[in-house]
Amino acid sequence: METTNSRQPSSVLDLTEREYKAGFVTDIEAETIPPGLSEDVIRLISAKKNEPEWLLAWRLKAYRHWLTMKEPAWQNVHYPPIDYQAIVYYSAPKTKKDAPKSLEEVDPKLLETYEKLGIPLRERAKLAGVAVDAVFDSVSVATTFRGELEKVGIIFCSFSEAVQKHPELVRKYLGTVVPHSDNYFAALNSAVFSDGSFCFIPKGVRSPMELSTYFRINSANTGQFERTLIVAEEGAYVSYLEGCTAPIRDENQLHAAVVELVALDRAEIKYSTVQNWYPGDKDGKGGIYNFVTKRGACRGVSSKISWTQVETGSAITWKYPSCILQGDNSVGEFYSVAVTNNRQQADTGTKMIHIGKNTKSTIVSKGISAGHGQNTYRGMVKILGKADGARNYSQCDSLLIGDRCGAHTFPYIEVNNSTAQMEHEASTSKIGEDQIFYFQQRGISAEEAVNMIVNGFCKVVFKELPMEFAVEAQKLLGVSLEGSVG
């Protein structure tokens, strides 16, 4: 046969500039402290937020511990050293006085920003049925549908507000899943975190709507260090979604967040992320360094925590949403789509720690690499000695587009109980020239062909997302891979 795949690599691999639609800057007056990190800066942040003494003490403890730590170097990503003294640790849009009491008091420019991003903060229209907490640089600017949630006893507010209004709850759970000394970036976050979302679902309550936080970095040279804490009491249920974007800037910006989830007996938390931080340009200039610690504790029997993430943005992604399966019969899930195009690098995966009996975990990871992107799955499944009847199913698939990108898989498995059942499947495939030609010969463009193949590849993860966001995620994936075929 003369028709073997002898095509020159040029046309499938031509990379053009991708369009990052959230890359605008909002021109708003901000209160920004000078760059640099010291105990004084931490005291200043704490004072600005009018925090209780115990919280300041906790921050300082974290800071002092951080000073003794070294930035981790085991991950499969490469970047120039971060100058922690060049980062601004607090920036907030200026408001007339104190925090806005209602949406009417929120700066219209901010509302406009979120409208532009497709996140209406006015309680109506498209996202009706989803409560949103909007975090702009270092502070939460608005939280919608609070009244409706309060009726059923759900607390959903900014972290700062929770510290003021529900200090006993914050104090009880803060740092119990991710301790202040957990890792380099978590310790840094514990010292300087500025805001984030707090969510408390009391016993027996199923949240009547999706809760979501929308993170936006706006100011230049500013790090974003938000902290999210979600507690679901006995029998409670909540589905939570976070989204993130940032303007296009030539400098790299640091985002080091911490998310802690606590599920008590029979509680269920479903946490979905659509991460679209600015990924840098096609040559790797600029972009967000995303170093995030996310962990959930299934403390109660038959509790369940499910992580779903669609990671399309950031120059560097370093995150491992994990589950500690402490309660008997508890369930942990991790569904992930990670895309690296152009010069993006991702090292992401999960940890499932089985402690209780008959605990079950599922890992489905889909990595897509295009351009010069490097995509690493790193995961750990650990079955402790007392975890009788523990089960894990892991599936790690990689899809390559072009021949200058890379996919890497590091699955760690540690089993200390002979009754455990473990399954691991992995595959690597490449979108071939002959596949794309087959689509083209049927009238479908190469770009659309890649979209269809990628969406088919990610289907099992997308179906875990809340419906409205599954559609968004699909579109986002299309945008992220724009120009990955020529």
Partner 1 sequence: MTQPLLEIQNLHASVAGNEILRGVDLTLGAGEVHAVMGPNGSGKSTLAHVLAGRPGYSVTSGTVLYHGRDLLAMPPEERAREGVFLAFQYPVEIPGVSNVYFLKAAVNAVRKHRGLPEYDAIEFLALVKQKAKLVDLDEDLVKRPVNEGFSGGEKKRNEIFQMALLEPSLAILDETDSGLDIDALRVVAGGVNQLRSPERSMLVVTHYQRLLNYIVPDFLHVLVEGRVVLSGGKELALELEEKGYGWLEKEPPAVALSR
State which amino acid sits at residue 89: Y
**Contact track, partner 1, 378-417, x by CB under 8 A:** ----------------------------------------
Residues 471 and 174: their CA atoms lie apart, in Å, by: 34
| 297 neighbors 360 (Cβ within 8 angstroms) | no
- Judged by beta carbon, residue 421 or residue 445, the one nearer partner 1 is 445
Give the phi and the psi of residue 146 in degrees, each rounded to 5: -65, -40
- DSSP secondary-structure letter at 103? G
Give CA separation, 24 vs 21, 112, 132, 217, in Å. Answer: 8, 12, 21, 11
Check residue 3 for interaction with partner 1 (CB under 8 A): yes
Check residue 418 for interaction with partner 1 (CB under 8 A): no
CB of 431 to partner 1, least distance (A): 9
43: Cβ contacts below 8 Å, ≥ 6 apart: 56
Tell me how far the alpha carbon of residue 48 is from its chain's centroid.
27
- Judged by beta carbon, residue 447 or residue 468, the one nearer partner 1 is 447
- Judged by beta carbon, residue 6 or residue 102, the one nearer partner 1 is 6
Indicate which single residue of 8, 50, 68, 85 sits in contact with partner 1 (rule: CB under 8 A). Answer: 8
CB of 408 to partner 1, least distance (A): 21
- Dihedral-angle region of residue 225 (phi above 0 means left; psi in -120 to 50 means alpha; beta otherwise): beta
For partner 1, which stretch binds (CB under 8 A), given 4-12, 307-315, 401-409, 463-471? 4-12
Residue 481, token pair as written in the block: 């891979």
CB of 89 to partner 1, least distance (A): 44
Residues 474 and 430: their CA atoms lie apart, in Å, by: 20
- Judged by beta carbon, residue 50 or residue 441, the one nearer partner 1 is 441
Total chain residues near partner 1 (CB under 8 A): 30
CB of 347 to partner 1, least distance (A): 25
- Dihedral-angle region of residue 111 (phi above 0 means left; psi in -120 to 50 means alpha; beta otherwise): alpha
CB of 432 to partner 1, least distance (A): 7
Residues 296 and 277: their CA atoms lie apart, in Å, by: 23
CB of 338 to partner 1, least distance (A): 17
Residues 477 and 458: their CA atoms lie apart, in Å, by: 10
422-461 residues in contact with partner 1 (CB under 8 A) are 429, 432-435, 437-446, 448, 452-453, 455-457, 459
Check residue 78 for interaction with partner 1 (CB under 8 A): no
Give residue for tokens 């940890």.
351
CB of 451 to partner 1, least distance (A): 10
End-to-end CA distance of the chain: 27
- Judged by beta carbon, residue 39 or residue 433, the one nearer partner 1 is 433
Check residue 16 for interaction with partner 1 (CB under 8 A): no
CB of 26 to partner 1, least distance (A): 38
Give CA separation, 361 vs 82, 165, 357, 461, in Å. Answer: 35, 36, 12, 15
CB of 350 to partner 1, least distance (A): 22
- Judged by beta carbon, residue 8 or residue 50, the one nearer partner 1 is 8
CB of 369 to partner 1, least distance (A): 16
CB of 366 to partner 1, least distance (A): 10
Check residue 1 for interaction with partner 1 (CB under 8 A): yes
- Residue 346: its H or E element: strand 345-354
Per-residue burial over 307-342, b if 16 or more Cβ lie within 10 Å, else e, is bbbbbbbbbbbbbbbbbbbbbbbbbbbbbbbbbbbb
Check residue 13 for interaction with partner 1 (CB under 8 A): no
- Judged by beta carbon, residue 291 or residue 462, the one nearer partner 1 is 462
Residues 330 and 269: their CA atoms lie apart, in Å, by: 12
**Contact track, partner 1, 331-350, x by CB under 8 A:** --------------------
Give residue for tokens 């911490």.
258
3-state secondary structure (DSSP) of residue 448:
helix
**Contact track, partner 1, 152-191, x by CB under 8 A:** ----------------------------------------
List contacts with partner 1 (CB under 8 A).
1-3, 5-8, 11, 429, 432-435, 437-446, 448, 452-453, 455-457, 459
